[in-house]
């Protein structure tokens, strides 16, 4: 296997799931999201020889995914006769700037890191930060003390800070 194939495999493994999550954030359909991401990687492979990235590769691939998603929505709109909802969705997508890390990219990275955390810490953190439950609501729901909730979230925050402080790739 040549170096180009190995590099492409590495890029695919690193970006496939985050891109599917990014696309699915807008399309809310996992099969369509996977199809869009497959198209992104197909175009990337087709143009690998002439590829000239002037910004970070992460920004490039997310911009490519955004453009491919817009094309996909427009193509499906013609075939399925969708309403103005698609036009509004396209406008929302076009308004997104991908030269800076987006909240969903950071969230995906945090969720990936949370897989390494203790299951109870992860559950409590996700209930608070992603589901929006208060400490009191979490304590009632899990039948634990509010202090236990606070301690678990604090430990999880320290855990994430330690892992994120060395992750400059996330912010490039």
Instruction: Give the pLDDT confidence of 94-141 residue by residue, as tens digits.
Output: 555 544 445 666 777 777 788 888 999 989 998 888 778 899 999 999
Reported as a single tens digit per residue, the pLDDT across 42-54 is 998 888 777 766 6
pLDDT for the residue 101: 45
What is the model's pLDDT at position 36? Answer: 95
pLDDT for 171 equals 46
List the one residue out of 63, 25, 11 whose CA is nearest residue 169.
11
Q: Is the model's pLDDT at 55 over the cut of 50?
A: yes
- Prediction pTM value: 0.51
Is 75 found in the same domain as 15? yes
pLDDT of res. 136? 94
The residue among 89 and 34 whose pLDDT is bigger is 34
Domain housing 72: 3-94
pLDDT for the residue numbered 85: 46
Going by the DSSP 8-state scheme, the letter that residue 169 receives in this structure is: G
pLDDT for residue 83 is more than 60? no
Total domain count, the chain: 2
Name the domain boundary from 94, 128, 148: 94
Domain-terminating residue out of 94, 120, 150: 94
Q: What is the pLDDT of residue 139?
A: 94
- 4-8, 58-62, 132-136 — most confident range: 132-136
More reliable by pLDDT, 32 or 164: 32
The answer on 58 and 9 residing in a single domain is: yes
Residues 39 and 115 in one domain: no
Q: Mean pLDDT score of the chain, rounded to an integer?
A: 79
Give the end of a domain, one of 94, 111, 144: 94
Domain shared by 107 and 76, yes or no: no
Environment class of residue 66 by beta-carbon count within 10 Å: exposed (0-12), middle (13-18) or buried (19+)? buried
- The CATH number linked to 38 is 1.10.1740
């Amino acid at each position: 296997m040549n170096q180009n194939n190995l590099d492409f495999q590495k890029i695919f493994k690193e970006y496939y799931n985050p891109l599917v999550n990014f696309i699915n954030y807008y399309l809310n359909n996992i099969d369509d999201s996977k199809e869009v991401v497959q198209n992104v990687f197909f175009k990337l492979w087709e143009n690998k020889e002439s590829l000239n990235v002037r910004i970070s590769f992460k920004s490039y691939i997310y911009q490519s995914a955004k453009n491919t998603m817009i094309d996909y929505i427009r193509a499906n709109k013609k075939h399925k006769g969708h309403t103005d909802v698609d036009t509004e969705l396209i406008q929302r997508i076009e308004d997104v700037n991908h030269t800076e890390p987006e909240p969903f990219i950071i969230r995906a990275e945090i969720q990936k890191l949370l897989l390494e955390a203790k299951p109870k810490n992860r559950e409590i953190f996700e209930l608070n930060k992603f589901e929006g439950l208060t400490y009191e609501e979490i304590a009632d729901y899990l039948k634990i003390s509010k202090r236990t909730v606070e301690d678990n979230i604090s430990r999880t925050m320290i855990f994430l800070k330690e892992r994120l402080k060395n992750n400059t790739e996330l912010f490039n």
